[in-house]
Structure 1
Amino acid sequence: MTSSTPAVPDPTAPAGAVPRAEDEVVRICRDLLRIDSSNYGDGSGPGERAAAEHVMELLHEVGLEPELFESAPGRANVVVRLEGEDRTRPALVLHGHLDVVPAQASDWTYDPFAGEETEGLLWGRGAVDMKDMDAMILAVVRQMAREGRKPARDVVVAFFADEEAGGVYGAGWAVRERPELFEGASEAISEVGGFSVEVDGRRAYLLQTAEKGLAWLRLVADGTAGHGSQTNDANAVTHLAAAVARIGAHRWPYQLTPTVDALLRGVADLTGLPFDAQDPTAVDALVDALGPAKKFVGATVRHTSNPTQLAAGYKANVIPGRAEATVDVRLLPGFEEAGMATLRELAGEHVRIEPIHQDIALEVPFAGDLVDAMVDALHVEDPGATVLPYTLSGGTDNKSLARLGITGYGFAPLRLPPELDFSGMFHGVDERVPTDALRFGVRVLDRLLRTC
């Protein structure tokens, strides 16, 4: 794929005629929210094609030449490379995903695919995960193209399919089948970081430098089928239920990774609370000081294992010969093997574990030129704020890019009101993002691409 150079601005256009990213980011986000790109994880649903075609239109409109490719019918991805001022430097990947998790309209205040804007908030499925960041990327790239301005280095702008189901049809497929798209890239930026929280009355931004490993596992118990009235010591349901109960109730010990350690030390500095990695009470107090963000951070001081699905039997008086369950396991960077060993012990001798989908954990330094540029860009827009590293309890497409040696960060910059439960809206009901936060984000991203 050839690089796209920005469109040359019209010298006869009146001053101020070029739309700014701040002027159109809300509209772009609203239009994306109105496209249902729900990912049910089983191949059903509308797919990302409509959203990808809309992205193509927005990029073509400003003279860029993106490529749209499908990994399967309807599973569409869009990539364009922007030529940088210094092409001798490694490229940066700036990426988002176009799919969203499903939403039940009856549970929402507003239709999740209506893109309702009210009282300074934009509502809809994907408003925080992650069509907000998609819109910020598009708005900034469009402004740069209109102005004929290049980023500091080559930037590979990518919008992937299927992130919400592990990226098999999106970033994972692109890395495996189209690695040339990312040639020369060394670093990447995507979700979920750069958003603000209030800590003891002071604003802090959480920059994501790590994410837990992913393991969607199937527990399988094989037993002896028989009549429900008979004694049966090889009851598959009994064996499975016991394993599920052990795994679901297991209290994983605290294990502070370097990123979590650095975050909690930063919170201690802001609050004056004591930091003691060996004292769970002290750790809990520091996590609680992060307010709504404790939902993310509280899940990163230990492994988690949550049973999510059960399946067995076909009639009340028939003991089935097989029973299955699904468990969502998230493992801390550096402790994955020990975590899996514990899960096998908890499952017991009568239950085997089969992988459904697994992916790596990530942890990268909170240091270097790119981190410095992200921190500086935030400080220009919000002087005096603190920037801290943190670990994401979920996962992102940076896992796939890591297979090409690309170091990934979560940086979707948003200055948020302290009362907004931002982390609680991921995959939740009534997703919404402040329109002012979107405008803040494009200012930060624009400055970052000028300097990084």
Structure 2
Amino acid sequence: MTEVAEICSELLRIDTTNDGGGDGPGERRAAEYVAGLLDEVGIEPHVFESAPGRTSLVARVPGDDPDGLLVHGHLDVVPADPAEWRVHPFSGEIADGCVHGRGAVDMKGTLSMTLAWARENARRGARPRRDLVLAFLADEEATGAYGAGHAIERHRDLFEGCTEAISESGGFTWHEGDVRIYPVAVGERGTAWMRLTARGVAGHGSKPAVDNPVAEIARAVARLADHRWPVRLTPEVARLIDELSRALGTPIDVDRLEEEIRRVPRAAALFRGVLRDSANPTMLNAGYKVNVIPGTAEAHVDGRFLPGQRDEFLETVDRLLGPKVTREFVSFEEAVSSPAEGLFDDLTAALLAEDPGGRPVPYVMTGGTDAKWFARIGIRGYGFAPLFLPPDLDYFGMFHGVDERVPVEGLEFGVRVLDRLLSGESTDSTM
């Protein structure tokens, strides 16, 4: 078993489930495991908590250039029901060439690649090309407030000198026929998680309603769910479509995107979720007895907006909700974007060094990561967690899905790519 697979397996056995309720009992055990791996090779870990058990870790590796690069990832995972899985989600079992478990892709596999590279680099006594700050954070699967948020507010000195960052959701193989595409994230849609509240007149369920908040919230939620958001082709997405056209050798017509999505569905999966804003109702809460009209009703909505679309998005939401429904943010983060040059060129070069036939392209993530927190302190973020994947593995389906797993060969490829990027030296090791 290679070191990266062993580390990944061990991390997956630590249940770091984050149910969004403020608890994270496994994060401390995971942080302590990571701290031990780093300390063993002479890398000093700084471990801290934002609340009991909500533990993060940051370590600095001095490099030849003091211009720092932040490599960050999260220790927590979303819940998993063992009854739905073929392999227990917290077994870390290695079978059929894959490491199985909740977090294999999102994102303990990436943490394992970072750790395997850092340990090997330390053992050979090499200095990275630039100062590196390695961050292993709590709470990304909720709002990030207990992890990255706490880190930048209370431990900002640990990130001194960092101007750029890499993290999850980029650098993976995406197959379109015989073409191997490597999307590298240069942006994320903004996040607007909202609590909606309708207030009315409580009363007996058998009598004509004066002002029923349950009906009002239901109508508002239906209007949001039924709304067809207009296409807003941002510069980042326009470039992605252009690069995909070049990679595939066939033009993708931006004036007929709905037809093109059907024509090249695999490639279109990289941009169809970032053509529009979105507002998906996800939770409802109202009432306490079948024969009582309650005085209030609530709903939660997961809103996402493209770079530059915040004001239009919020104005549209307010219009759809109507005057009887109020909204408040559970979490709000601006959309972020970084230039597809500079570090981006280094990221693509590292990929091409390991897969010369690949086609790296910039793309925008539909969801969000801790990159939004670090953008608040001026650190530009890129999605770069390199993995070589077979055509039959549904990468996007692994995120928060059942039977999450990552190929061992994919992890080994990722370590080699990171070595190309961080040390500037090639390696034949599978670490």
Q: Does 1:327 align with 2:301?
A: yes
| Counterpart amino acid of residue 244 in structure 1 | V
* Deviation digits for residues 357-391 of structure 1 (CA, Å, limit 9, x no counterpart): 111111111111x2121111111110121000111
How many Å apart are 1:282 and its aligned residue? Answer: 4.3
Could you tell me which residue of structure 1 aligns to residue 235 of structure 2? 258
Q: Does 1:69 align with 2:48?
A: yes
* Deviation digits for residues 305-354 of structure 1 (CA, Å, limit 9, x no counterpart): 11111011111111111000000111111101100110011111111111
Matched length: 425
How many Å apart are 1:262 and its aligned residue? Answer: 1.1
Could you tell me which residue of structure 1 aligns to residue 21 of structure 2? 42
Could you tell me which residue of structure 2 aligns to residue 98 of structure 1? 75
| Counterpart amino acid of residue 139 in structure 1 | A
3-state SS of paired residue (1:148): coil
Q: Contact (CA 8 Å) 1:199, 1:267: kept in 2 or not?
A: no
Residues 169-184 of structure 1 aligned to structure 2 (within 5 Å): 169-184=146-161
Residues 381-396 of structure 1 aligned to structure 2 (within 5 Å): 381-396=354-369
How many Å apart are 1:277 and its aligned residue? Answer: 2.5
Q: Contact (CA 8 Å) 2:43, 2:60: kept in 1 or not?
A: no
Q: Does 1:423 align with 2:400?
A: no
TM-score (norm 1): 0.92
How many Å apart are 1:23 and its aligned residue? Answer: 2.9
Residues 163-312 of structure 1 aligned to structure 2 (within 5 Å): 163-285=140-262, 288-290=265-267, 294=269, 297-312=271-286
Could you tell me which residue of structure 2 aligns to residue 409 of structure 1? 382
Using the alignment, how far apart are the partners of 1:155 and 1:287 within structure 2?
A: 39
How many Å apart are 1:46 and its aligned residue? Answer: 1.8
Could you tell me which residue of structure 1 aligns to residue 410 of structure 2? 437
3-state SS of paired residue (2:254): coil
Q: Structure 1's 337 and 283: CA in aligned 2 closer, same or farther, altered over 3 A?
A: farther
| Counterpart amino acid of residue 105 in structure 2 | V
3-state SS of paired residue (1:130): helix
Q: Structure 1's 287 and 249: CA in aligned 2 closer, same or farther, altered over 3 A?
A: farther
How many Å apart are 1:109 and its aligned residue? Answer: 0.7
3-state SS of paired residue (1:238): helix
Give the root-mean-square deviation of aligned CA atoms: 1.5
Using the alignment, how far apart are the partners of 2:277 and 2:260 within structure 1?
A: 15
Unaligned runs of 5+ in 2: 426-431
Say which of 107, 112, 126 aligns to 2:84: 107
Could you tell me which residue of structure 2 aligns to residue 380 of structure 1? 353
3-state SS of paired residue (1:169): helix
Could you tell me which residue of structure 1 aligns to residue 7 of structure 2? 28
Q: Structure 1's 243 and 111: CA in aligned 2 closer, same or farther, altered over 3 A?
A: same
How many Å apart are 1:272 and its aligned residue? Answer: 4.1
Q: Contact (CA 8 Å) 2:104, 2:405: kept in 1 or not?
A: yes
TM-score (norm 2): 0.96
How many Å apart are 1:45 and its aligned residue? Answer: 4.5
Q: Structure 1's 233 and 277: CA in aligned 2 closer, same or farther, altered over 3 A?
A: farther
- Name whichever of 119-128 and 252-261 sits farther off: 252-261
How many Å apart are 1:269 and its aligned residue? Answer: 2.1
Q: Structure 1's 112 and 212: CA in aligned 2 closer, same or farther, altered over 3 A?
A: same
Percent identity over paired residues: 51
